[in-house]
Structure 1
Amino acid sequence: MMLSFFDQFAIPQILGIPLILIAIITPTLLILSPSKRLIQNRLSTLQMWLSKTFTKQLMLPINLPGHKWASILLALTLLLISLNLLGLLPYTFTPTTQLSMNMALAVPMWLATVLIGMRNQPTISLGHLLPEGTPTPLIPILIIIETISLFIRPLALGVRLTANLTAGHLLIQLISTAAFVLMPSMALTASMAFIVLMLLTGLEVAVAMIQAYVFVLLLSLYLQENV
């Protein structure tokens, strides 16, 4: 049976049950829940400090009505970071390499920001489709272009996350395969490939966290335009 490099992105199944459900539930078990003790341990205290710092930084440019989204955006960030890092472990699966899942996260969140803007400030939200001072002959063209760019936003969110993670995983598999194949005949070249693999793995860890942050940051910018 011949396997391709893209088989790692196929959803594994056992007895017809897709394991993506287990992969999505697992990160929730890794996040510590606050206990009822007066003094927390070091790990939970560090987690709470990081959560508060990130939330404060994320909500800083957003108006006060948008602060209601703090818990949603924080939960989405933790979910994406956990799922992205989960795929770097051996014998695991990365759910965020599936465009369908990323679009399922991006479209409802983007649509919610748009509907909030249409409900609370419809004039300002519609005004984003036409920049101030536009010449009269260009008005129809600019409205069409801005409308298309508005509807492309969720697609860009999902495709960006999928493409970055897929490219990183493919590079890791290509270099690891090369190092394994070259080890018996060209030990020096295989050792160099292994060093590159270690550096690329560290880079992929950073990319996994950065892409989760970028996903939520863009959502916060869309929210800022509509609150």
Structure 2
Amino acid sequence: MPKDIRINTEAWVIKIGGSLCDSKYLVQWLNSISEYSSKKIIIVPGGGPFADQVRLADKKFDLGVYAHHMAVMAMQQYANVLASLCPAMALTHSAERTHQIWVESKVAIWEPYEMVRNQCTLDQTWDVTSDSLAVWLAGKLGINNLLLVKSSKQVLEETDLDSLTKSKCIDATLNKLVNANKINLNILHKSKVSDLQSLLNTH
């Protein structure tokens, strides 16, 4: 892995929730993030409607570990949706490719399947969703800053991770991973696009 993407206190992982797929805010977020292409930013996609189909299939067929693989592939599909909506960004499947995208002053969009399948040792269950994988990726790339963009109105009122875990606003593994990786975690509601500027400029 290139040395200069390790322990980067200025870079950001930004996880765009799959629930934004049908939201008017999705393109607003992508356009706003693209304005910071000079920063080192990598977007982690949620699973969106693709993951919903995996959940339905899992309930019907009890897919076990295969449900996890399929859910990660759902994230990959959503990544391509995001890339199609914002051509100025570039897809990445590796740390090396991410580094090259940053050198080109572009925002990266993570296609997670290859790295997760070959390098990730987290539990392969529904307790590990794109939330936790965003933290895992941050640790893998040496990035301290993570932003989760959520649709749940709960994040407008509180950011206590235990409460958000109990309500399933975030997955069951995220809190532990954030503490273990010493991540600077931020959570914004999808309507708070205007808060992005101050957030990125203060870190």
Please indicate the TM-score interval, normalised by the length of the shorter structure. under 0.3
Tell me which protein shows more strand as a share of its residues: 2
* TM-score after normalising by structure 2: 0.25
- The normalised TM-score by structure 1 is 0.24
Higher helix share: 1
* Larger gyration radius, structure 1 or structure 2: 1
